[in-house]
């Protein structure tokens, strides 16, 4: 995951130099290493981890995390050459130092709530009434919406995969009877481009998207660091190359060398998260 921040054409946020609640520092923005200090007269404030930010760089970084399904914000600043700080920031700190507007706070808090709920429940909106529906049986694509069933005075069921009204075979099949019912996540795993991992010796062609072997969430590799990756949903660390858990992979191989078994082939099924 790259930590560089792309600037957007928008009105830049700036700290109030008279704000005594912030600790201002005279050094570069640690979240935007490409920033030219000579061209930027904005103040930098120090986060609890000790790294300097501007309200713009902090907002853009945290927004990018939300877009990737990550709602716990950690400092991405590079330390000791290649490592990331990874210090956890509280939302209260982010909200304050990012100088979030009312609209931004609403977006952040609604998105964070949805992502937090998704860690423990399978939830998505009903395609007909838009009410959030939980899928309790993760092996069953056929889901009943209680709101639509009550309104229509008959059972309304939809397909969790294609979001069409349920048709056709039994609920334990891998698709419903709608012609366009396909597992798009699985299709992506089968057709995504391949990447090299420059930091990992011997890995020149690896699928760019993997499904976490523990919870099935789609993840991508930053290509900058070692071959291991931490799943943002279940927080289990696994090898992006061989798909074994980190503790298993590291028994036989260095984090910076290709695994003895080589690159695991493209996945043909998505693991179902067995929450404990």
pLDDT at 23: 94
Domain boundaries along the sequence of the chain = 24-117, 121-182, 184-252
Q: Using DSSP, state whether 117 is helix, strand or coil.
A: helix
Q: Which two tokens stand for residue 70?
A: 């990550």
Cα separation, 54 vs 202, in Å, equals: 39
Helices and strands (H and E) in the chain: how many: 6, 15
Q: Using DSSP, state whether 251 is helix, strand or coil.
A: helix
| Cα-to-chain-centroid distance, residue 23 | 30
Cα separation, 43 vs 56, in Å, equals: 11
Q: Which two tokens stand for residue 255?
A: 């984090």
Q: Which two tokens stand for residue 147?
A: 């709101």
Contacts of 145 (CB under 8 A, 6+ apart): 126, 128, 129, 131, 133, 156, 157, 158
Residue owning tokens 């939300």: 66
CB atoms within 10 A of CB 241: 28
CA angle 35-40-43, nearest 5°?
Answer: 105
Q: Identify the helix (H) or strand (E) that includes residue 102.
A: helix 102-120
pLDDT at 225: 79
pLDDT at 230: 87
Extended strands (E) in the chain: 24-25, 44-46, 52-53, 78-79, 83-84, 123-125, 132-134, 142-144, 157-159, 194-195, 206-207, 209-211, 218-220, 228-230, 237-239
For the chain, 276 residues long, give each residue's pLDDT as a single digit of tens.
Answer: 334 444 444 567 889 999 999 999 999 999 986 665 544 557 999 999 999 999 999 999 999 888 877 899 999 998 877 788 989 999 999 999 999 999 999 999 999 988 887 777 788 899 999 998 988 887 788 999 999 999 999 999 999 988 999 987 665 667 888 988 888 888 999 999 999 999 899 999 999 999 999 988 899 987 777 899 988 778 899 999 999 999 999 888 899 999 998 999 999 988 878 766
Whether the Cβ atoms of residue 58 and residue 49 lie closer than 8 Å to each other? no
Q: Which two tokens stand for residue 50?
A: 């000790």
pLDDT at 33: 67
The structural architecture, per CATH, of the domain 24-117 is: 2-Layer Sandwich (3.30)
Q: Using DSSP, state whether 92 is helix, strand or coil.
A: helix
Indicate yes or no: pTM above 0.85.
no
pLDDT at 148: 96
């Amino acid at each position: 995951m790259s930590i560089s921040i792309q600037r957007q054409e928008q009105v830049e946020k700036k700290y109030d130099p008279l704000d005594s609640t912030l600790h201002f520092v005279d050094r570069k923005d640690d979240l935007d290493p490409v920033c030219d200090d000579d061209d930027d007269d904005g103040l930098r404030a120090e986060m609890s981890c000790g790294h300097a930010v501007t309200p713009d760089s902090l907002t853009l970084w945290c927004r990018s995390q939300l877009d990737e399904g990550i709602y716990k914000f950690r400092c991405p600043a590079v330390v000791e050459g290649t490592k990331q700080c990874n210090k956890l920031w509280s939302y209260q700190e982010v909200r304050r130092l990012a100088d979030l507007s009312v609209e931004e706070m609403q977006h952040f808090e609604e998105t964070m709530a949805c992502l937090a709920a998704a860690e423990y429940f399978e939830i998505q909106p009903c395609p007909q009434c838009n009410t959030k529906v939980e899928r309790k049986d993760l092996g069953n694509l056929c889901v009943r919406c209680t709101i639509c069933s009550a309104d229509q005075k008959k059972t309304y069921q939809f397909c969790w995969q294609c979001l069409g009204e349920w048709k056709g075979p039994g609920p334990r099949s891998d698709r419903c009877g709608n012609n366009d019912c396909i597992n798009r996540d699985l299709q992506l795993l089968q057709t995504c481009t391949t990447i090299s991992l420059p930091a990992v010796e011997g890995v020149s062609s690896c699928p760019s998207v993997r499904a976490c072997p523990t919870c099935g969430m789609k993840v991508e590799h930053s290509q900058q660091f070692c071959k291991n990756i931490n799943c943002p949903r279940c927080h289990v660390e696994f090898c992006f190359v061989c798909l074994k858990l980190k503790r298993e992979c590291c028994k036989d191989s260095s984090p910076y060398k290709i695994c003895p078994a080589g690159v695991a082939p493209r996945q043909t099924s998505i693991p179902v998260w067995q929450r404990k």
